[in-house]
Structure 1
Amino acid sequence: MFRTRFTRRLPAAVAVAGLALAAAACGGGGESTSTGAEAAPSASAAQLNANADLSKQSLQVTVWDGYTPKELPDKVKQDLKVSNVKINLHATNEEAIAKLTASADSGIDVAFVSGQYAQALSEQGLLEPIHPELIPNLSNLYPEATQLSYDKGNKYSVPYTWGTTGICYRSDLVKAEPTSWNDILKPPAWAQKKVTMMTTERWLALPALKALGYSVNTDKDDEIAKAKELLTAAKPNLLGYDDTTFGDKLKSGEAVMVEAWDGWCPTTDPKKNIKFVVPKEGSDLWVDTMVIMKSSKNKEAAHALINYILDPKIHGWAAENINYKVPNKAAMDAVKVPEGSLLGIKPAELLNGESIRDLGEASTKYTRLSSEVTAK
């Protein structure tokens, strides 16, 4: 029931363009000069009632397929007494953004989107501020989960899963274990044509940017140009670009080293010959979040849903079933970590990575970089 991860992280510039159109359609004008972190609570926010009768509210949620328990709607109706819960699916962040901005009221109450997309939605004024008094289970989060650079203090989003990117490799097939992004960008002779990299824009650029000592969020033309040079030079030595089946290529021995998201590196394979390392130059911190739409007419129920998901028994489902770490200390303390699993990566280690942020129109630079580097 894994969703296809590469489709979840599309150009934020596309999303921002859609948000700008939606803001204009709603009567907005000019550029947004504030962020969600700076925004004051809306008039509707002041009217939220902690004792609201949830049986008079219903919920529509948009989320990736297989990302929450199938029984969640029934459990929420039973336990929270919400009148109805409808789960809508999106395959990509782009699809979610299109759904959320197609009209002034999308009908969606709670959306699951990646952190940089939550940032873009907030900057367009489309998110309800998070009201911590309605989500007491926020106390279950790791302290580090409140310090994410795209939304410090969880002012408009609540993190659901998080992880990092590194090199996944066959320990029995490499002559030297990888320690640097240069090990896949400039592979030794024995690894040439046995290495894969991702094509998803920000993650294609990540190894080169980090190897060069740059930020994963750089928008500087000269730094992106140097990253392109390094990626172009690496291309002839690759087995190919692969965002989805790199784990299978490692298992078969077709590949010996691949760029990979931690949750998709099959370190629990019974042969115990697949390992994962974050290169010495550092990496990213990706986060998937839950947000509440400002247009929602069921804001109390939306907060109650997020609070319910933050219950350790509910939130721990994600770690146990989709192998993604959750930023919930109480949940992770209760999860039985399989031998070899990367679920044991500590929050402090994750925070060594840079949070990927929305870059607005500058994202088109990464779109161009990806298309030019990967073109045949």
Structure 2
Amino acid sequence: MKKRIGLIGCGNLGYPLAYYIERLGFDELYVHDLDPEKAAGLKQKMEETCPLLQVKDHLDVDGLDVIVLSLSGPQTTAFVTDPRNHGLFRGRPVFVSLGRPNYDDPAAHEVLDHYLVENGVSLLFGFGLEPGLVEVLMHDLASTHQGEVVKLSAVCGGVPLRPNPPLNYDLLFGEHLPSLNRSALFKMDDRLGSCKRFDMKEAAFVEGVGALEVYHDGLSPYLLSTPCVQQIPGVKQQTARWPGFFDCMRVLLSLGLLDEQARLDGGSTASAQTHAILRQNGKLARNRPDISFVEVCAQLESGKQEKVSIVSTFDERTQLTGMAQLTSFMAAWAARRVMDRPQSCRPGLILGHEFFDKSETGALLDAFRVHVNCTVRISP
């Protein structure tokens, strides 16, 4: 029987996702976007680069095995709770989403899970780089060394191979700087704490990348509540950038230059004007060659350190950024594993660290080595 997959959202990650979907052995791909031109453009590009994959720019009722959602968290929730979309599958509905689960409202998270269970729908939620791969690797180290870990930390990010001062940053997703100064969790001395995203920075060194600045960002409360992580006194997850980016963001934010609400003369926002100027003067480019990475470290009571990292660089052959490779392969691989192991996909909301056990994480790392332009390091 042919393996048939749907892809909802054909923006920046449309082609990388479709590329890995073909590499992983799917036979038919059905693409859809609110902008029909994006879906048609992706169909044409795939027909040119991957002629063996049958691509259709529409969705067939009762035809799909799994659907990948290249959507935000709120968009994902809206899509999977619309009963009309459940009829797209020839079996039980299974969605794999890149979107961020709701970290700020656990009650809404539980309501979504209850709805999915009641309606026999599976949602693999947060299956990109962060959230996704980061939490999988953190949980794997914590469970492997359960009871021995005193500090668990992760850094991830994407930086330009040729940084351009003063931002030293390129756009890899979307059209805007990641300026939302949201609250970020961390755990120190066995106590939970939080800070704003751009409150504090630290220095870090990532092997294969270099000296970086890191700041708290995106630690999952659901990962923190798992037994093997809950007992660890210190846990943090941080985003990494080239030095200079953090201070620039603090200045732009403090001056109100990234305000998305206040309207200026002519109707545009301060943020829109700032981004237009940065693009016009060449200080903010997009999709240039990058180096993207995740590094997770577990400090043990014995003093030993266990570490795993994946570093991916811009692929000249496919023209895929390292960030696109790391993010899209995670979702495509999960979709393929759903096909191979349908019993692993219960109805309800499934996070990355819940889907990948020890053996599955090992298979995931092996798959990265085979299919992605990256280096996987495991120490000691």
- TM exceeds 0.5? no
Higher strand share: 2
Structure of greater relative contact order (alpha carbons < 8 Å, 6+ residues apart)? 1
TM-score of the two chains, using structure 2 as the length reference: 0.28
